[in-house]
């Protein structure tokens, strides 16, 4: 490729502490300075943040808490997870060739509502005196609408197909999610459901 010149823009980066490394050096899983720098950044490259070393820590002092705090602090509510099977790897799949061939999905996952941040949550005892752990799944209309918009717009840019997966038959939060998605569907009629 003689004569080809490629210009690469200068990347400026700054390493910051989060998770286990932050716990070891500052005593918290997400230092304020890290969140502040993250808010001023154009992009964040995040690696592994935890390990067995911190498993016995109280919940607020676990590395994963730093990740949840980072999501909340940045308002990062959508996770896009592409799933494709490369032709070179088709025979390595545990799925039958005819099932795996041509797989091209985009999973859109909500990150900051529902069971992650719902309250009350914690540990206690039930009416029989058994120890229990509990979480609360709560969704506000705006949380559902914004993730639905991401899903609908993503589907519109791809093949125009969308499948919403929930547990509306047994979970009220999921049922509410489904109802809101039906309302959003009226705004995105060109998509196949």
Q: How do residues 76-110 score in pLDDT, each as one tens digit?
A: 999 999 999 999 999 998 989 999 998 999 999 99
Q: Are residues 84 and 1 in the same domain?
A: no
pLDDT of residue 57: 96
Domain housing 43: 1-76
Between 122 and 1, the more confident residue is 122
The answer to whether the beta carbons of residues 144 and 176 sit under 8 Å apart is: yes
pLDDT of residue 181: 79
CA-to-CA dists, residue 58 to 69, 115, 117, 121, 146, angstroms: 15, 19, 17, 14, 32
End-of-domain residue from the set 76, 107, 141: 76
Q: Are residues 151 and 187 in the same domain?
A: yes
Q: Are residues 156 and 104 in the same domain?
A: yes
Q: Are residues 103 and 147 in the same domain?
A: yes
Please classify residue 81 by burial: count the beta carbons closer than 10 Å to its beta carbon, then call 0-12 exposed, 13-18 middle and 19+ buried: exposed
Q: Are residues 124 and 179 in the same domain?
A: yes
Q: Are residues 146 and 173 in the same domain?
A: yes
- Mean pLDDT of all residues in 138-149: 91
In the chain, how many domains are there? Answer: 2
The answer to whether the beta carbons of residues 103 and 89 sit under 8 Å apart is: no
Q: Is the pLDDT of residue 62 over 70?
A: yes
């Amino acid at each position: 490729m003689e004569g080809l010149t490629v210009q690469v823009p200068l990347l400026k980066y700054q390493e910051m502490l989060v998770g286990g490394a932050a716990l070891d050096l500052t005593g918290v899983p997400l230092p304020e300075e890290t969140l502040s720098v993250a808010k001023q950044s154009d992009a964040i490259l995040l690696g592994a943040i935890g390990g067995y070393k911190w498993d016995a820590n109280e919940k607020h002092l676990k590395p994963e808490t730093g990740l949840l705090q980072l999501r909340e602090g940045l308002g990062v509510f959508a996770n896009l997870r592409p799933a494709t099977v490369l032709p070179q790897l088709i025979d390595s799949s545990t799925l039958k060739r005819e099932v795996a061939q041509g797989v091209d999905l985009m999973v859109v996952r909500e990150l900051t509502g529902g069971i992650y941040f719902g309250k009350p949550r914690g540990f206690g005892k039930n009416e029989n005196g058994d120890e229990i752990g509990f979480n609360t799944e709560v969704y506000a209309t705006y949380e559902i609408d914004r993730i639905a918009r991401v899903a609908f717009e993503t589907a519109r840019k791809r093949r125009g197909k969308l499948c919403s997966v929930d547990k509306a038959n047994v979970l009220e939060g999921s049922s509410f999610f489904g109802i809101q998605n039906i309302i959003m569907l009226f705004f995105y009629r060109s998509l196949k459901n």
